[in-house]
Amino acid sequence: MGGPAPPDKSWKGSLNMNYNIGPGFTGNDSFRKIRMRVHNFNKITRIYNVIGTIRGSVEPDRYVILGGHRDAWVFGGIDPTSGAAVLQEIVQSFGKLLSRGWRPRRTIIFASNAEEFGLQGSTEWAEENAETLQERSVAYINSDSSIEGNYTLRVDCTPHLYQLVYKLTKEISSPDDGFESQSLYESWLKKDPSPENKDVPIINKLGSGSDFEAYFQRLGIASGRVRYTKNRKTDKYSSYPVYHTIYETFELVENFYDPTFKKQLSVAQLQGALAYELVDSEIIPFNIQDYAKALENYATSIYNLSKKHDQQLRDHGVSFDSLFSAVKNFSESASDFHRRLTQVDLNNPIAVRIMNDQLTLLERAFIDPFGLPGRRFYRHIIFAPSSHNKYAGESFPGIYDAMFDIENKADPRSAWSEVKKHISIATFTIQAAAGTLTEVV
């Protein structure tokens, strides 16, 4: 390529060559042109959502949804087939339980849809059934690609699912070489500890780019996803190298990514166990205290980010005190709720239902009906896909986006007013969420 060098090293690859950004070419090839022929066919076609339901025996009006897509850009050996196969195996497992006389406490919904073109299948279904899903859904578990690498487990989920994930991974055998007698939790912890707490494995924030988006970011339904991934410390490429290409075949999976299919089995075991626990536990296995800790970390993180503009914070009267106060109140409410949860009378179905409803509806409390600026589809005040990478999650996205590149804004006063506005929105939302956890009188 000709033209100038890229603006910084993040544009450069690892080959021993000059990376330029064009236009044109260099040297003897400067006169050459490239002709591309694109053989795409634009047409309107029909897609189908396939929905299966096992009605709950005790709380049929409470739903746990396990869903994923079955369409692919090309052959889809990894995306989505490795995830679609997991979904099918879990459906078959629940079918076997049914044949033995078991029925779940709550209703479980299995959803298979078309996703690659704008997440259309899940989004349309979730929007069509929005009122029902917001009123009745406990959680959504996403079953997209079950592998994007073969190094270790990767989990993205809402914070009050952390403890359930840790508990279940301790009960599943690790498929990793060298960890034959150890649990999935142990191999995961060894390979990918959390930067904030080395005693537990890292769990990522939910971003977007898959079917959980409408459920989580728009409707406020607790969500999670599970897959095997690459070594993020050494493999710096995004996703996996053959993502959405003609080379993403079954042979690639069978010969290179997961020859024994044990890693996909571990993902299936974990997703199936998550669905089972959520659908059949008398008390929904959410840990609100983990949400409180996460909010403390996120508030500290966004405040530390703002300190790069320390003088401007003072000049424009921007304070994060109200946000930290709301987070403190939420933490106190979460602790009190946890105390009451340990004392609930399990023989009193009304008392159990009240606590479960508070657990279920907490995520809804973080939804703002007005959405984020310029992104009204995204309504979650605590989490949203990054404005600069839709696959990655960002905490306090309203505040983060308002501060992004703020030093180059034409009207600093207006820009910092926007920051204050989003601090206020986050403060109000967290304080309101804390109110949902108080004892019902």
Residue 281 annotated as catalytic: no
Q: How far apart are CA 305 and CA 54, in angstroms?
A: 47
The partner residues of 155 in beta bridges, in order of sequence, read 226
Beta bridge partners of 4: none
Residue 417 · residue 282 · CB < 8 Å: no
Q: What is the spatial distance between Cα 163 and Cα 180, in angstroms, rounded to a whole number?
A: 24
- Nearest residue to 138 (alpha-carbon basis) of 39, 338, 26, 280: 280
282 catalytic per annotation: no
Catalytic residue among 277, 296, 357, 368: 357
> Is 89 marked active-site?
no
Which tokens belong to 193?
């500890």
Neighbours of 336 (CB within 10 A): 15
C-alpha distances in angstroms, 123 versus 314, 372, 400? 43, 18, 26
Q: Report whether 211 contacts 69 (CB < 8 A).
A: yes
Q: Which of 69, 160, 309, 380 is catalytic?
A: 380
The span from the CA of 393 to the CA of 337, in Å, is 28
- Within a 10 A sphere around the Cβ of 238, how many other Cβ atoms? 11
Amino acid at 342: T
Q: Which of 57, 194, 319, 325 is catalytic?
A: 319
Residue 319 a catalytic site member: yes
Phi, psi (degrees; rounded to nearest 5) at 426: -65, -40
Residue among 330, 352, 348 at smallest CA distance from 283: 352
Give the Cα separation of 434 and 441 in Å (integer).
16
| Residue 288: closest CA among 105, 438, 64 | 438
Catalytic member of 89, 115, 148, 401: 115
Chain centroid, CA 102 distance in Å: 31
Are the C-beta atoms of residues 202 and 192 closer than 8 Å to each other? yes
Residues annotated as catalytic (active site), given as ranges? 115, 319, 357, 380
